[in-house]
Amino acid sequence: MKLSTKGRYGVRALLDLALHQDEGLVPLKDIARRQEVSLPYLEHLITPLVAAGLVKSTRGARGGVSLVKPPSEIKLSEAVQLLEGSIAPVDCVNDPKLCHRSAYCVTRDIWSEMKNAMSQVLDSTTIQDLVERQRQKGQPETEMYHI
Amino acid sequence: MKLSTKGRYGVRALLDLALHQDEGLVPLKDIARRQEVSLPYLEHLITPLVAAGLVKSTRGARGGVSLVKPPSEIKLSEAVQLLEGSIAPVDCVNDPKLCHRSAYCVTRDIWSEMKNAMSQVLDSTTIQDLVERQRQKGQPETEMYHI
DNA sequence: TACTAAGTTGATTCTTTTTGTCAACATTAG
DNA sequence: CTAATGTTGACAAAAAGAATCAACTTAGTA
Ligand code: FES
Ligand code: FES
């Protein structure tokens, strides 16, 4: 039941972006440096977010990425879904046809409950919530990693 | 956020065992057949359950495995923990030292909440609950797969 | 216009985890 | 004794994860 680096780094990238959006377009390079993720990898993480219209990217010199919606309207469930795919512990929770036992499989019911419990958390948390928590903790994300 | 086959097959093995425990020792071969898992693989799934004292095994002819505790005392959280290890979405939820950012990482707080939500489900469900649900669904586990 | 700083895309590679299989062995019932 | 069973550890195939790289496109600016 581990989250992959896509989900972890991707959410952190969104948070970083939200924390710096008042500075205008944010180059991926800056996010990569602050979040300690390699730039080539971050490029792949940002792709699905751009494709989904969550993030807007601007090419060229002085380019960078920016949030399309305000952070308060970006639910973590949306971000995680884009980055990791469905959060369901087993695929047959989303599509019963994937398991030929699903009609009478009681463990599937439990995995489904787990999915709901997780969704509950991710649906009720937005990037804005993370921003506020971060500011309370001393906003190190904006202060550290200056050389 | 997927469960591996260890967790899925292992829980199903425990359920199968609970459903057949009145028949005495249950050979792994029977569980493997009913649950459609290869016998050699099932042997590895049962090992940690035996080591933890959840399941007792008896070698030799007419041997097999049996539950040590009544199904109502076996929480799914216990089984999944044994089979999959910690349910935490990221390891630093269990041990903050694993991430050097953990002191000010707000995403970690969210992953921690997710872990709690999942634990809530798995802590409040026992093998006995699964047995009862299975019987309500028509107990196919005890009726099917006879050749 | 050139040059440079970005983001885009797809191929490729390396590593780790998952998912098993197999064989040799130990134990017990009958 | 022997057949049925669980035990253990080595091994391996396949899939997924985690990047890396290079060629390309786009846009600002001198
Ligand atoms: S796990 Fe898919 S139906 Fe049981
Ligand atoms: S994910 Fe481990 S501290 Fe942020």
Please report residues of A whose CB lies closer than 8 A to that of B91: 2
Structure tokens at A98: 């994937």
Query: How confident is the model over B42-69, as pLDDT tens digits?
Result: 999 999 999 999 999 999 999 999 999 9
Nearest to B65, CA basis, from B16, B110, B107, B114: B16
Q: Write down the pLDDT at residue B105.
A: 96
Query: How confident is the model over B83-105, as pLDDT tens digits?
Result: 999 999 999 999 999 999 999 99
B23 touches strand D (CB under 7 A): no
- Cβ contacts from A onto B, under 8 A: 99
Q: Write down the pLDDT at residue B140.
A: 54
| Interatomic CA–C1' length for residue B146 and nucleotide D11, angstroms | 34
Query: How confident is the model over A82-112, as pLDDT tens digits?
Result: 999 999 999 999 999 999 999 999 999 999 9
Q: How far is B25 from chain A (nearest CA, A)?
A: 23
The answer to whether the beta carbons of residues A18 and A125 sit under 8 Å apart is no
Please report residues of A whose CB lies closer than 8 A to that of B110: 11, 76, 121-122, 125, 130
Q: Write down the pLDDT at residue A144.
A: 45
The answer to whether the beta carbons of residues B7 and B118 sit under 8 Å apart is no
| Interatomic CA–C1' length for residue B22 and nucleotide D16, angstroms | 41
For residue B142, the tally of other CB atoms under 10 A from its CB is 15
The answer to whether the beta carbons of residues B67 and B74 sit under 8 Å apart is yes
Nearest to A132, CA basis, from B99, B110, B102, B106: B106
A3 and B3 in contact by Cβ < 8 A? Answer: no
B5-86+126-137: CATH number: 1.10.10.10
pTM summary value: 0.93
Return the SS3 of B12. helix
Who has greater pLDDT, B130 or B147? B130
Q: Write down the pLDDT at residue A139.
A: 57
Please give the sequence-ordered ranges of beta strands (E in DSSP) within B68-130, or none if there are none: none
A133 and B89 in contact by Cβ < 8 A? Answer: no
**How big is chain B, counted in residues?**
147
- Report domain extents, chain B: 5-86+126-137
Q: Write down the pLDDT at residue A74.
A: 98
Reported confidence tier of residue B76, pLDDT bands at 50, 70, 90: very high
Q: Select from A35, A81, A114 the residue whose CB has the most chain B CBs within 10 Å, as the one to mutate to test that interface.
A: A114
Return the SS3 of B52. coil
Specify the nucleotide whose C1' lies closest to residue A47 (CA).
C8
Q: Which of A86, A107, A109, A113 to mutate to test the pocket of ligand 1 (most atoms within 8 A of CB)?
A: A107
Interval between CA A112 and ligand 1 midpoint (Å): 10
Exposure string for B3-19, b = 16+ CB within 10 A, e = fewer: beebbbbbbbbbbbbbb
Return the SS3 of B65. strand
